[in-house]
Structure 1
């Protein structure tokens, strides 16, 4: 994405204030290099951000942005961290649906973890609410197992989801 295209998306969103345009402008400006400007232009100061779940202290240790947070800065921090923890190999929006202030976005991305060098591809879904030309709520869902596992450098889990202990199995090494 060239900076001119990203900035043009912001300018269009500021003119139309259409929820679909606002969310698209933010997504086009969500790279590590552009997210501060994108958030300052497209995200309300007190916006809510829900990443992957509502509250999981264990996942938050792996992915610090996980859970529910408030404020524009969390958008900047989250998308900057994504660009620090992973190399963004691909990010594609396949569908955007808007009704009144609600926007749904679907697509897929491929990331490679910088330290462990593990690559994964995940579908994603976004629920966004836009009011007065700014995002006030943004919920991002992905294959959380795959994203957290991309940081795995060793170890395994013993899984038992059945009362029969013979059905126990290992995941990982």
Structure 2
């Protein structure tokens, strides 16, 4: 039986919340599309394609920041699309600088797997926190 959008998104955040990094990529389709806009100084930004790239994204993310606060405030589902709203505070390990703000994530689920994962956050604040000057 194929999991629906709500089930997949809930499982994703459940795994993310307990640092199950090895388990995250298996929720993504082989040809998954991941888009995170931002400056090249932020190690997880870019347009990534494929489950292997998704795995690298999450590894770079957790290696770069110490998440001090992460709160999912709302998940809205419309068919195969889920829209996630929340707030976070991350401390950049290499600079010691923190950045905070709201986030939005669009997740598209087809055939029980994440097909698209696109984040929206304050990319300027992230770039400034990664800037060592």
TM normalised by structure 1 equals 0.71
Looking at structure 1, the residues matched to 3 and 30 of structure 2 have their Cα atoms a distance apart, in angstroms, of 16
Q: Which structure has the larger Rg over C-alpha atoms?
A: 1
- Larger strand percent: 2
> Within the alignment, does 1:120 sit opposite 2:99 as a pair?
yes
Q: Write the distance in 2 (CA, Å) between the matches of 1:101 and 1:141.
A: 19
Aligned equivalent of 1:26: 12
Map 1:85-124 onto structure 2 (within 5 A).
85-124=64-103
How many residue pairs align between the two structures? Answer: 133
Runs of 4+ in 1 over 6 A off after TM superposition: none
Measured in 1, the distance between the counterparts of 2:47 and 2:124 equals: 18
Q: Deviations over 1:44-63 (max 9, x none)?
A: 1110000126xxxxx22x12
Q: Which structure carries more helix by proportion?
A: 1
User: Alpha carbon RMSD of aligned pairs, Å?
Assistant: 1.8
Structure 1 residue 31 displacement after superposition: 6.2
Structure with larger RCO (C-alpha < 8 A, sep 6+): 2
- For residues 110-146 of structure 1, the C-alpha deviation after alignment (integer angstroms, 9 at most, x for no partner) is 1001011111112110111101110001101111011
